[in-house]
Amino acid sequence: MTAGFFIYKLLGSLVVPPGLFILAALVLSMASSRRRDGKGTAMAALFLALGLYLFSTPAGARLLAGDLENVPASLPARGEKAAILVLGGGVRYGGNLSPDEPGPLATVRLVTAYEITKKNNWPVIVTGGLPWKPGEPTTAEIMAARLRNLGYPGPILMASRSRTTWEDMVQAGEILKARGIRHLVLVTNAFHMRRALWIAERVMPGVRSYPFPAGHLVDRVPLRPMDFLPGPDMAGVLVFRERVGLAAARLKALVR
């Protein structure tokens, strides 16, 4: 990469959010530091700039992710009685303009689950309640419709009363117990997999879970200069939220 091209990309990243906000916070920090009574404001603005930078760069996302996504995929042996659990990952409500559809994270999970079903005759469990208003489809129902549109002809089981990953697992566990299934292929995004597995082990102690990550946030190639520029995807926010979520789940388990 030439220096001129890097400068071009750097300027481009600083004239739109989040780079624009980082630059504004740095300017505020420098301006405040020159005032006798502005040291506190300067430090707060600098902290804000550094936080935004960390969360909005691919390099920062890698730092925050650490080994969070290092979970290899696995499947039960052929012929095992198993099910595939696809955790809900958000919905985009189209209103009067378009049909409701799974969000980007949920879509990746559904495509991954569909690919698994092509070689394994296992039922699929989809999760998620929280319709945007009473009488509207739940997240599980919207995900089931997308799975059918992809071409999956097999049985779809719905845990459609859940609001959190913990509740997803509780309701999925009830479905598995009722059907005598002790092997579960767990499909969720790679950054979410460690928390999902940790909860599954505690909510479904008699079930063996097989992780099958659906897409990764961080690259595995060596860092490049472009990875240190702010970008719009804010992957660092997702991995940081997962670490907070896992810590909260462990704390919640202690007080149960």
pLDDT value of position 88: 92
Q: Which two tokens stand for residue 44?
A: 């707060």
Phi/psi of residue 86, each to 5°? -105, 110
Sign of the CA dihedral running 192, 198, 200, 206: positive
DSSP codes of every residue in 72-124: ----PPTT--EEEEE----EE--TTTS--EE-HHHHHHHHHHHHHHTT----E
Q: Quick check: 251 pLDDT over 80?
A: yes
CA separation for the pair 58, 64 (Å, rounded): 10
What's the Cα-to-Cα distance from 76 to each of 37, 38, 79, 179, 211, rounded to whole Å? 64, 61, 8, 17, 10
pLDDT value of position 250: 87
Max mean pLDDT range (58-67, 96-105, 148-157, 158-167): 148-157
Domain co-membership, 109 together with 206? yes
Residues in Cβ contact with 167 at an 8 Å cutoff, skipping those fewer than 6 apart: 161
Neighbouring-strand partners of residue 102: 91
Q: Quick check: 256 pLDDT over 70?
A: no
What's the domain range around 86?
A: 82-215
Domain co-membership, 206 together with 155? yes
Domain co-membership, 190 together with 130? yes
pLDDT tens digits, one per residue of 134-191: 888 999 999 999 999 999 999 999 999 998 999 999 999 999 999 999 999 999 999 9
pLDDT tens digits, one per residue of 107-142: 999 999 999 999 999 999 999 988 877 888 999 999
Count how many domains the chain has: 2
CA separation for the pair 210, 201 (Å, rounded): 11
Residue 252 lies in a domain: no
**Taking all residues of the chain, what is their mean pLDDT, rounded to a whole number?**
92
Residue 220 lies in a domain: no
Q: Quick check: 98 pLDDT over 90?
A: no
Domain co-membership, 58 together with 101? no
Residue 119 lies in a domain: yes
Return the residue matching tokens 């809900």: 88
Asked if 128 contacts 139 with a C-beta cutoff of 8 angstroms, the reply is yes
Residue 225 lies in a domain: no
203-230 average pLDDT score: 92
46-71 average pLDDT score: 94
pTM of the model: 0.89
Residue 61 lies in a domain: yes
Domain co-membership, 115 together with 234? no
Q: Which domain CATH number covers 97? A: 3.40.50.620
Domain co-membership, 126 together with 235? no
Q: Which two tokens stand for residue 3?
A: 């220096």
Lowest mean pLDDT among 51-60, 166-175, 232-241: 232-241
